Amino acid sequence: MSVPVGVQPYLDVRKGTTTVYSAPLVSPANLPGNLERGLTQTKLQSYSTTAWSIVVPATVVAPQYSFGIRYGNGASLDATPVKWARPARFTIGRLSLVLWPTAQDPTTSKVSISKLARDYFDSIPVSTLNYFDYTPLRLDYVILQGSSHPPRKYTKFADVVIDGASDLYGKVLKPLAIRVSLANTGRGLLIRDAKGAVVYGDSSPYSFGSYIGIGWFYDAAKGKYQDANTFGYSGGWTGWAATWNDPAGQCGNLFAHELGHSLGLSHFTTGTAKQWGIADEYPNDGVNGRNNPWGFDTMRNLFRTWYRVDANGPVLDRATGQPVGKHDPMNGGEDGNAVACYPQFTAYQAMKMQNWLDATPTLTDENGTPGVYRWNSTTLRYDSATAADGALRPAKIDIPVATLVGTLTANLTDGTSQIYPPLFAKSGNVFTLPNPFGSGLPAPYTDARYFVKIAYADGSVDYALIPDREITNATQLDSFSLNLELQRNPKRIQLFHAHKAYPAITEQDSDLIYTREINPPTIDQLPAPVVIGS
């Protein structure tokens, strides 16, 4: 649509035959600028010299509205989107682990959630981002199994090293992120999957969100805190991620990359474009080019350049003299800078994220009913869906919770079968717990021998059966997790070992092996989530 000189075009937003919003388009001379202009005094190339534009309220960008562009008395040009994606809400919970803490608090080096939320929201295709901190988990001991030793309660790092268990990323940080994810998706009590394999490198069956772990440990021999990534690992997949704790790692490509995995993305490295059949569009794989779509920062209403920018302006390739394209976060990405922690994803990766969000069930509350729902791209509504294999039924979504993680071993008396202190958050999910004193639970619970009892301030009690059979292997270390509703004021959780296996369990014929007192903070003392979007 070309616009004659001196004519003002308008955008009309209609609901049925009624125009609910109308506004003039902005001329090409006043097109939004580039976010990267904040990095340099050099004038940057504009996205276009001929494009008219307009920024509209997010509330009218919905299927019930149609869009038309008109000028003068001419016919309106239909500008309604051809296809609507799911208005996805995505949750990110940050976990901070501190092992063998001192009076010094190392977590003060964390980058603020508000900055991380703002910058990541601008990089991913979701309508709402719910980003929050859990309270730090400070442990003066940790249960680990190293080499051929039985699981042991470690109170200092030096002993961990001696026993060959010093991979704190693989043995503590990553499992913590996974266990918190499991607790928030109704699968935390599971020890093994449907095939009998121990739940470890878990991939969430839901597109609800992700829990990312960072950590510190106090090394008494060196007299200082060090990163819990002792072996230099970083990883993630749907539902969880774990990485380094330094500010550059948080406000930089590591967070964007690992959380990209949490949104269903794989690496976009050399040769991938050919495998995906898009080499003509992405000849340099996960590197933006001048013919690829630019990004747009919806928080600041500014374009994102396809090319790198530094203080001197566009970064040029020394061999060709041409601008260097930004790397997709799944292809090395870009360092954080003064204007943004993360680069935009390539448009193809954004499409893949959107498709994954559309196709993957989520946990949400529809019309007052919490449950598992799948987006219907035909009706543009959520349909009720079946819970994932072994997952519990959601009882409440997005409420304040206490998250507890415990361990089980063959030894019931040395403190290795226990429950760690709780983590607390203003946003979490709780589920209908499996009753150990009955029958009718699914097959994984058959012959289970462990359960927990939760006592609340009002005198009420809940029980939950852990589907783990009698542990006889001296080197076996199992983990479980669950969420408790914080508004019910949980005061105590106890771990029991039953003399008889499910479905013949009774509390009277069971041994109490561990008690953890819970002293929850008031809800207004918890870190407030940063919620961005509609």
Tell me the mean pLDDT in the region 207-217.
97
Q: Which residues contact 54 (CB under 8 A, 6 or more apart)?
A: 11, 23, 24, 25, 26
> Average model confidence (pLDDT) for the chain?
95
313 token code pair: 């302006």
Radius of gyration of the chain (CA): 26
DSSP label of 53:
B
Predicted pLDDT at 320: 95
| pLDDT band for position 90 (cuts 50, 70, 90) | very high
Angle (nearest 5°) at CA 272 between 271 and 275:
95
| pLDDT band for position 194 (cuts 50, 70, 90) | low
Q: Which residues contact 18 (CB under 8 A, 6 or more apart)?
A: none
What are the contacts of 279-285 at 24+ separation with CB within 8 A?
A: 281/348, 282/346, 282/348, 284/325, 285/331
CB 216 within 8 A of CB 227: yes
Tell me the mean pLDDT in the region 415-427.
98
* DSSP string computed for 283-328: TTSSB--TTSPPEEETTTTEEE-SB-EETTEE-B-TTT-SBPBPBP
In this prediction the pTM is: 0.95
> In angstroms, how far is the first alpha carbon of the chain from the final one?
31
- Angstrom distance (rounded) from CA 230 to CA 300: 38
CB 315 within 8 A of CB 309: yes
**Is residue 1 scored above 70 in pLDDT?**
no
* Size of the chain in residues: 534
- Angstrom distance (rounded) from CA 400 to CA 439: 31
- Angstrom distance (rounded) from CA 428 to CA 87: 20
- How does 430-448 read in b/e, with b if 16+ C-beta sit within 10 Å? bbebbbbeeeebeebbeeb
**Is residue 200 scored above 70 in pLDDT?**
no
Predicted pLDDT at 452: 99
- Angstrom distance (rounded) from CA 86 to CA 359: 9
Q: Which residues contact 523 (CB under 8 A, 6 or more apart)?
A: 400, 426, 486, 487
- Angstrom distance (rounded) from CA 406 to CA 404: 7
Q: Cβ-count burial of 184 within 10 angstroms (0-12 exposed, 13-18 middle, 19+ buried)?
A: buried
CB 418 within 8 A of CB 496: no
Predicted pLDDT at 249: 84
**Is residue 366 scored above 70 in pLDDT?**
yes
Only one residue has tokens 């008889």, namely 500
Tell me the mean pLDDT in the region 198-219.
91
**Is residue 149 scored above 90 in pLDDT?**
yes
Please state, in angstroms and as integers, the Cα–Cα distance from residue 475 to each residue in 150, 195, 208, 481, following that order. Answer: 4, 21, 35, 20
**Is residue 534 scored above 80 in pLDDT?**
no
Helix, strand or coil, per DSSP, at residue 233 = coil
Order of strands across the sheet that contains 18-24 = 18-24, 9-15, 66-71, 77-78
- Angstrom distance (rounded) from CA 305 to CA 37: 9
Only one residue has tokens 């070992």, namely 497
Give the tens place of pLDDT for each residue, 337-351. 999 999 999 999 999
